[in-house]
Structures are given as C-alpha cells and as structure tokens.
Amino acid sequence: PPMESLLNLDDIEEVATKQVNQKAWAYYYSASDDKFSKKFNNEAYRSIILRPRVFRNCEPCDLSSTVLGHDLGMPIYVSPAAMARLGHPAGEAGIAEACRSFGAMQIISNNASMTPEQIVKDAAPDQVFGWQLYVQIDRKKSETMLARINKLKAIKFIVLTLDAPVPGKREDDERNSFVGASAPVPSEVKEGEKSNETPDVSQASGGVGKTLFAGTDPTLTWQETLPWLAKHTDLPIVLKGLQTHEDAYLASLHTPQVKGIILSNHGGRALDTAPPAVHTLLEIRKYCPEVFDKIEVYVDGGIRRGTDIAKALCLGAKAVGIGRAALWGLGAGGVDGVRRTLQILSDETKTCMRLLGVETVDGLGPQYINTRMTEQQ
Ligand code: FNR
C-alpha cells in the first residue's frame, strides 16, 4: 500500500506482519514468557495523564534536541535491534538512510546483519550513530570490533547492553525455528557482508535469539567490565537495560566514562514482569533525581504514539527509542517504511506539544503530566 495511507504505527505493524516471512515475524514480535513486560511497556504510558495549558502561542513547534552534545532533528532514535535484513534487504543501512532524512539517531546492534562500516558508509556529516556491544566470552572478538568502531567517525558512543546476560525465553521465536527448512538469511546476507561477530542464524535451532546470544559473556560486573571497556575505547559509554533507581545511581557514580543510561527492559524480551522504563524513570525522580544532572537518561520500550514520547521527555528522558516500530517500518516498506514511521512519530509528537502549549523539547517538564494513576499501582 502507499505509505501515506498508513496513519499510525499499528497500521505499519499490520502491513509488516503480512509482508515479512514467518521467521522474521516471530523473532521481531517475540517477547519473554507470557509477554507481560511487553504489554506493561505501552500500558504504562496510557496511565499517565497529560495536563495541557491553553492560551499559548504554539507556532512554530521545534523538535530539535541534543544527545551528548550532538544536535538531533528530533529526540527519537532507533534502538539497537539485531538482524534487520531478516525483514527487508535494505537492512540497517536502510534504517540509516531513513534516519538521515530526519536527523534521527541510530544505535547499531552488535548483531546487525550488515557491517558497521556498511551501515555508516553514506552518513551525513552531522549524522549521529551509537554502536551497541554484547561483550563476548571470547573478549578478543569484542576488542577487534571496538578497534573497528573507534575508527568510524560517525559513531559517537558505545552502548553496553546489560539486561540480557542470557536471552529471555521467547517462545514465538523458539517455535518458529522449526518452521520450514530454509531460513531467509543466507541468500540475503552474503558472506563477508555481515558484521564479523554476528552468528549465522540460518541454522538457528531453538530460535534466532538463542543462536545470537550463544557467545555472549554472562559474567560482566561494574568492577571488571567498565575498566576493560574504557581500555579499548575513548568513546563515551552508555549503559543499556537499567531497570531500578539503584542501578541508575550506580551508573551515575561511573562518570566520566559513563555518560548516559538507557532505561529499558529490552522490549519485554529479557526478564518477564520486569518494569517498563517509565516506572524506572519515576523511581529515579523520586529517590535520586541528581542522576539527571550527572548523566543523560534515555528510555525505550512500547513507544506507539507521539504522546508516549512527550510523556517520557516530560519525565526527564533526553531521547526516546523505538525498536520493533523501526523493524516493522522496514518490513512494511523498506527505507520509505522507516521514513513513514519516523514521520508519524514526529508529527504526533509535534501535535501533542502544540496541544500541551509547549513550543520546544526543552520546554517539556513534569508540570505537564499527572502520574497519580501510575503511582497508585
Ligand atoms: C532488540 N533489542 C536489542 N537490544 C540490544 O541492546 N541489542 C540487540 O541486538 C537487540 N536486538 C533486538 C532485536 C529485536 C528484534 C527487538 C524487537 C529488540 C531491544 C531493543 O534495543 C529495544 O530495547 C526494544 O526493542 C524496545 O522496545 P520496543 O520499541 O520494541 O517496544
């Protein structure tokens, strides 16, 4: 269908569901156990009530913002998600192309289906990328990747994912590893075109997720791993997958290397019934608000509407990530599908800001929301 006929993220997911193959669908859609966290992620935004102010000029409305001192066209980024080429041959480079049109940031997965060099090849001079690391049991492999990343000017920071020392139990993904003999990846990803360390998922028995996690080191600690990482890169470090105010506070003690944290439950794909990022954001506001002064805080999980984005920004998030929504965009229409996803979110966020009576991202704050319903839970 023409992309303009898709009006919201649900429309895009519906088209993608029909277009991507069953294995890709199962891997993208899947979440752990009974998928409670995946459900909480979006519901958490719905129980936050907006407090619009009136009689205010809301023209123009400006989404420009910054992350770690880099200018962005909007405070929305594409979260690291493995294997974009399972869903569409344009893959992660296609996502990069769409992000370029909007000044949106992209975090490249450790398990991308293209090399980081390929993904940033046509980067605009001011385009911002992060690169996400799963530390490998064979540390040499991660060190080799970091050496490559350090050479790529477009990559501005390293994201170290911590919420999945082992993958969650994703039954949709596991079930579909038994579907059909042929997996789509080998024909789409030619030898030498995938990022070095991404395992071959063509023979993925037990699910794509499990196969991808096979070499991941589950022994990481604050004491051992941060110094190791700082030895292998001078890039700022962002810790991903924090889910409590205690860990957010601990991260804030590790400046100057750690410059940011991503509150995330991995899209509900790691520990089921783990909290949605907005709950963690509320905890930090309550117990250790000084964290916001020391490091930048980003959130992802369950973003479906511009109002979700505006609420996270009101609560102190510096930027908001989309995982599946970008993959569904890619699956629905390649580069144009991701563009459509970003356009919808950008338009909806602007509409929300205008109706709240706020002209700029910096103008959003806690005075525009009522979290009583959330706190009663
Ligand atoms: C992910 N996510 C993820 N995170 C990460 O740090 N490294 C990775 O390789 C992946 N891979 C991945 C694959 C797929 C198919 C999905 C859906 C997710 C988690 C991702 O970065 C993000 O936290 C969530 O996707 C956010 O939730 P939503 O937007 O999908 O609801």
Distance 359 CA to ligand 1 centre (A): 31
Residues near ligand 1 (Cβ within 6 A): 27-28, 41, 79-82, 109-111, 132, 161, 240, 264, 266-267, 269, 300-303, 322-325, 327
The per-residue pLDDT for 182 is 33
Helices and strands in the chain, H and E counts: 16, 12
How high is the pLDDT of residue 210?
85
* Given the residues 29, 88, 163, 247, the one annotated as active site: 163
Q: In this predicted structure, what is the pLDDT of residue 374?
A: 87
Contact assessment for residue 310 and residue 65, using Cβ atoms and an 8 Å cutoff: no
Ligand 1 centre distance from Cα of residue 355 (Å): 31
Among 269, 278, 328, the mutation site with the greatest number of ligand 1 atoms within 8 A of its Cβ is 269
Tell me the C-alpha distance between 173 and 267, whole Å. Answer: 14
Interatomic CA distance for residues 127 and 147, integer angstroms = 21
pLDDT at 77: 98
At 229, list the tokens. 């990482």
Question: What integer pLDDT is reported at residue 202 of this predicted model?
Answer: 66
The pLDDT, as a whole number, for residue 178 is 59
Q: How far apart are the first and last CA of the chain?
A: 41
ipTM for the complex shown? 0.99
Cα(174) to centroid(ligand 1), Å: 17
d(CA 33, ligand 1 centre) in Å: 16
Q: How far is CA 321 from CA 264, 295, 309, 325, in A?
A: 9, 17, 9, 10
- pLDDT recorded at residue 204: 60
Give me the half-sphere count of Cα atoms (radius 13 Å) on the Cβ side of residue 313: 29
Which pLDDT score, from 0 to 100, does residue 98 have?
Answer: 98
Q: State the residue for tokens 């962002």.
A: 238
- Best of 266, 299, 309, 328 to mutate for ligand 1, by most ligand atoms within 8 A of CB? 266
- Which stretches of the chain drop beneath a pLDDT of 70? 178-199, 202-205, 377
